[in-house]
């Protein structure tokens, strides 16, 4: 038996990176997965590869009507798990960033997560409960140069998770956030391959000594999506190889 047998999961940003890893793992664990994204070709190809337990639906997470359509298409009692995974990272120093840049990141990472929690929460309330997993970041705990917009959005996701857990607990809905560190996905190379290599060197100094993988994150998301985490809500789960535990040095 799989850990998600007979459950229906919707994963945003599910076509690649962490979302793809979550989609693959959830199907392997018995869930019927609705992969959503704006990367249609990648999403459709992944759904075909995963077979009859996966479907693809286009979803712009910033669009309220998109959310209503996708949730409605699931039918009554059709959603057990939401993974708010969709996100973007645009690098720019505070002095060089534009307001449009800031708003774009906030709309996807923060507003998109809020709309998802509301839409899924309504569906789960009507069907007796479920689990919402919001993907934040270690930048929801501390700052990072050239990432004021991203950090703002990820701190917000952390706070929204706690508030939503209080609102939704009486309906049998759990809400938790996952905070990845340096994970080797397409988002990591936003600043170019040179930045990725530099971060890889940095990761060698972490207690675990390496960059994280999308599967590292997906395994934690799986736990939170499953009934195994039935007494967990309103809290943070950090997946960072020890990055924010403190500074290491040779002794």
Active-site amino acid positions: 150
Q: Provide the 3-class DSSP secondary structure of residue 54.
A: strand
- Rounded CA-CA distance 22/56 in Å is 14
The CA-atom distances, in angstroms, between 1 and each of 6, 31, 73 are: 10, 11, 27
Q: Which of 61, 59, 167, 38 is nearest to 114 (CA)?
A: 61
> What are the phi and psi torsion angles at 209 (to 5°)?
85, 20
Which two three-digit tokens encode residue 46?
A: 């992944």
Given a contact cutoff of 8 angstroms between Cβ atoms, the answer to whether 30 and 51 are in contact is: no
Phi-psi region of 30 (alpha: psi -120 to 50; beta: other; left: phi over 0): left
Q: Which helix (H) or strand (E) holds 173?
A: strand 173-180
Burial 173-210 (b: 16+ CB within 10 A, else e): bbbbbbbbbbbbbebbeeeeeeebeebeeebeebeeee
β-pair partners for 55: 34
Q: What is the DSSP letter of 61?
A: T
């Amino acid at each position: 038996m799989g850990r998600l047998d007979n459950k229906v999961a919707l994963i945003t940003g599910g076509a690649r990176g962490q979302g793809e890893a979550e989609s693959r793992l959830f199907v392997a664990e018995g869930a019927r997965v609705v992969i959503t994204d704006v990367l249609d070709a990648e999403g459709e190809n992944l759904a075909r590869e995963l077979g009859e337990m996966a479907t693809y639906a286009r979803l712009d997470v910033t669009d309220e009507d998109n959310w209503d359509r996708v949730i409605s298409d699931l039918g009554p009692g059709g959603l057990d798990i939401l993974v708010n995974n969709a996100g973007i990272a645009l690098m720019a120093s505070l002095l060089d960033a534009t307001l449009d840049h800031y708003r774009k990141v906030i709309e996807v990472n923060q507003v998109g997560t809020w709309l998802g929690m509301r839409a899924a929460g309504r569906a789960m309330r009507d069907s007796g409960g479920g689990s919402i997993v919001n993907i934040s970041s270690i930048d929801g705990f501390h700052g990072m140069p050239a990432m004021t917009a991203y950090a703002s959005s990820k701190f917000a996701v952390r706070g929204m998770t706690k508030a939503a857990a209080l609102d939704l607990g009486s309906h049998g809905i759990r809400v938790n956030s996952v905070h990845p560190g340096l994970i080797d996905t397409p988002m990591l190379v936003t600043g170019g391959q040179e930045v990725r290599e530099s971060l890889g060197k940095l990761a060698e100094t972490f207690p675990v000594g390496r960059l994280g993988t999308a599967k590292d994150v997906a395994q934690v998301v799986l736990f939170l999506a499953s009934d195994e985490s039935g007494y967990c809500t309103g809290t943070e789960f950090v997946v960072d190889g020890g990055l924010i535990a403190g500074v290491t040095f040779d002794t």
